[in-house]
Structure 1
């Protein structure tokens, strides 16, 4: 299941360009020294991965709490179903709710801080820019967060989000080193495939929760009464 995070990040990179592409173009990298530019870009990506890792650990911890109630398989099925529904439901029905206003206030402060950091050229500025960038709203990140919850563990959730971030690194790096965007027709074709991959990953989580006995994909659940049965057998 961890590999699905890398696939989601890799094939969803063009979607990320819509949100993070302008920030990547605005990075105050050294245009005269490619080695230095690569180092600055690496710090930017490190900041993003750090933010994704923290987000993944927090939501993985939430998933772990739910799994302690014996809900891990049901949680995996629910997460997969939510992923698919979010692809099928138009975005206009999910935006503009009042309960989201506090989140928008926080995001406004993040963007303000991000704008201030983009004016600097110090190494810590690139790390900070990437870190703040990681907390900006992005539909694809939300999908990855659902995957982190389904894995039901802070370590697994953090690793899932980091792998997702790593999948976005190649294309995000390319736009910094290239002054031209890919052809619009190519971007349009790839963007049309993104919902397909999200649905595919959602189906994988559903299959995982069904416990079909498929190694590494859908293992059978461990009977909850196995431990108590073993103890009773050893009683005199």
Structure 2
């Protein structure tokens, strides 16, 4: 499933360029020293990965607690259905409800801290900007977090989100160097493909939860494997 995290990150980065692109373009990088600029951008990305991994760790723990109650298969199916449901529901329907309202104050503080950090040029500034950037609300991040829950452990959840973050690095880095490298029409076509891929991931999670005995796609539940092994004896 880590492959899905990386591909989701790559596709999601087209969305990131639109949402987080302005932050990337405003990074106070050194324009006169190419090596220093690359180091600053690397630190910025490390901050984002650290934020994603931290969030993934928390959601991985949530998944672990659900796994302990024996909801492994059911959880995978529920997450898959949710991913498909969110994609198919028109955006206008969601826009009627402010789901981020309960954490609006927190988001405002993050944006305020980002504004302050963007005015500085110290090495730790780029780490701070990247870390705070990772906590800004984003639909693709939410999709990745759904998948992180299914990981069933803090390590798997953290790793899934870190790999998701790695997938966003190539395009985000290119955007910093070449702000107008991608034409609007191409970006729109790729963004239209993102929901399709999210649906594919959702279907894979549903198949995984069904435990149909298909290697790598829908492996049989561990309990079934153990019981069948005992029957052979």
Q: What RMSD over aligned residues (CA atoms) do the two structures have, in Å?
A: 1.9
More displaced 10-residue stretch of structure 1: 98-107 or 119-128: 98-107
Cα 1:195–1:44, aligned 2, differ >3 Å: closer, same or farther?
same
Cα distance between partner residues in 2 of 1:224 and 1:216: 16
Unaligned ranges ≥5, structure 1: none
Deviates more, 1:83-92 or 1:53-62: 83-92
Aligned with 2:20: secondary structure? helix
Residues 19-63 of structure 1 deviation map (CA, whole Å, 9 limit, x = unaligned): 111100000001111111110000000000000000001001001
Hey, what does 2:66 align to over in structure 1?
A: 66
Deviation of the 1:95 alpha carbon: 3.8
The whole-number CA distance in structure 2 between the counterparts of 1:13 and 1:71 is 32
| 1:1-236 alignment, distance < 5 Å | 1-95=1-95, 97=97, 100-223=100-223
Quote the Cα distance in structure 2 between the aligned partners of 1:91 and 1:179: 27
CA distance in 2, matches of 1:67, 1:166: 27
Write out the 4+ residue segments of structure 1 that deviate beyond 3 Å after TM superposition. 95-100, 224-227
Structure 2: 5+ residue stretches without partners: none
Q: Distance in 2 between matches of 1:224 and 1:189?
A: 44
Q: Relative to structure 2, which stretch is displaced further, 92-101 or 48-57?
A: 92-101
Task: Provide TM-score, normalisation by structure 1.
Answer: 0.92
SS, match of residue 12 in structure 1: helix
Moved more, 184-193 or 39-48: 184-193
